[in-house]
Structure 1
Amino acid sequence: MNGLTDFIESIAPNVWEIRERVLESTWETIYMILVSALIAGIIGIIIGVILVITNKNGIKENVVFYTHSERLINTFRSVPFIILLALIAPFTRLVVGTTIGTTAAIVPIIVGIIPFYSRQVENALLEVDPGIVEAAQAMGSSPLEIIFGVYLKEGLPSLVRVSAVSIINLIGLTTMAGVVGGGGLGDLAIARGYNRFQMDVTIVSTLLIMVIVFITQWIGRILIKRTSH
């Protein structure tokens, strides 16, 4: 055990010196991912479903509403995340009382990922066989029954797939949030590693982020296999 400790200390002395901070930053990143994914996931699915049912030939077709919603989503998607952080700073302060820290970073992360995820949800649900939707309508199913019994049920494998992709994008947003004091591994890599020329800190932070991404992909593949039919 002492040999392993000495080895780690020899190849990454700065990391070993702040090992508690590394663990704390890892937890901060996981915290941002979990909370952001949960909230953005719920909102994104709702928006995605609304887009599908109000689209042309949708069960609640409303082309005017769909067109305006699509434009709004595209507008938010076109704003670079770093700029978005500054633009919604007043809203972030209103929600959590501050614009600095891990919890504050969650607000712009959610706002940044929702347009991307809702569009992914829309595309996933559009893969559902229209014939199944038409059959459900012919049997007198209500819109809610079609949404939950057809779109979300039949489109579950695709939803899992796009959710995994969206979470990976979300992980990228957490690292960018760290650049402006959002905490987490991104903040550690820049503030401690890059700014203080401690390359081992930057490398370890990057590797930990990659591990989180790989775990996300692994869980996503398992869920896709279990939900496919």
Structure 2
Amino acid sequence: MEQILILVGTSTLETLLMVFFSTFFAILIGFPLGILLNITNKYGITPKPVFNLVLSRIIDVLRSFPFVILMIVLLPFTRLILGTAIGTTATIIPLSIAAAPFVARITETALNEVDPGVVQASRAMGSTNAQIIIKVLIPESLPSVVSGITLTIINLVSYSAMAGTLGGGGLGDLAIRYGYQRFRTEIMIAAVVVIIILVALIQFAGTCLTNKILSKR
């Protein structure tokens, strides 16, 4: 029993590490892309149809890749950067690249829902494009963005579990290597239970944060 607790505890920490850093990098990449998608569309504050179309297609291509295939495709790139393509740290790269397009689309959709009248009013008051983005678009869309990022984090937990099939570490690796391959059902069940609890906690935290932002309006 003690051994199982140690294995589950270590794997849980690895999963949290993967999800935290991949979420951070996905937001770092995806959030600005989402803003670009919004402001450059034909209804945006700086319409650039050709640029918007090209960027949109690139993001769609990245979104269409199944995660396991994307992880395999990125093995040489991951090995080039980190010197290894296996393990918890190496998995952060494909996880980040897989999640960034989703964050971009979530951000774009949330920004598209902002009332155009608010933007026009800000423009009439002499606000610059940067001020409209920072003081109008982002604050107005924040609840939807937070809600969308919560779903992205939950997907990352699922992706991190799939990464275990390719030696990515974490709870997925624990369930496959120690549970399935060694016929230890109790370890597999423990890993699944922890994943379910993590998802529930993430959803709860995301909902609370969204409601808190809405209550301050």
| TM-score, normalisation: structure 2 | 0.96
> Once the 2 structures are TM-superposed, how far is the Cα of residue 221 of structure 1 from its aligned partner?
1.1
Match of 2:122 in 1: 136
Residue 52 in structure 1 maps to residue 44 in structure 2: no
Distance 2:137 2:166 in 1: 39
Match of 1:174 in 2: 160
After superposition, what is the alpha-carbon deviation per residue over 1:117-150, rounded to whole angstroms, capped at 9, x for unaligned?
A: 1111111111111110111111121111111101
Number of residues of Structure 1 aligned to a counterpart in Structure 2? 215
Distance 2:17 2:192 in 1: 17
After superposition, what is the alpha-carbon deviation per residue over 1:36-95, rounded to whole angstroms, capped at 9, x for unaligned?
A: 111111211111000000011211110100101111111111111111011111111122
Instruction: Within 5 Å, give how 1:47-196 maps onto structure 2.
Output: 47-196=33-182
RMSD, matched Cα: 1.0
Greater than 6 Å deviation, 4+ residue runs: none
After superposition, what is the alpha-carbon deviation per residue over 1:91-127, rounded to whole angstroms, capped at 9, x for unaligned?
A: 1112222100000000000011111111111111111
Match of 1:216 in 2: 202
Percent of paired sites with the same residue: 44
Larger Rg: 1
Match of 1:4 in 2: none
> Once the 2 structures are TM-superposed, how far is the Cα of residue 17 of structure 1 from its aligned partner?
2.9
Match of 1:18 in 2: 4
CA contact (8 A) 2:38 2:112 kept: yes
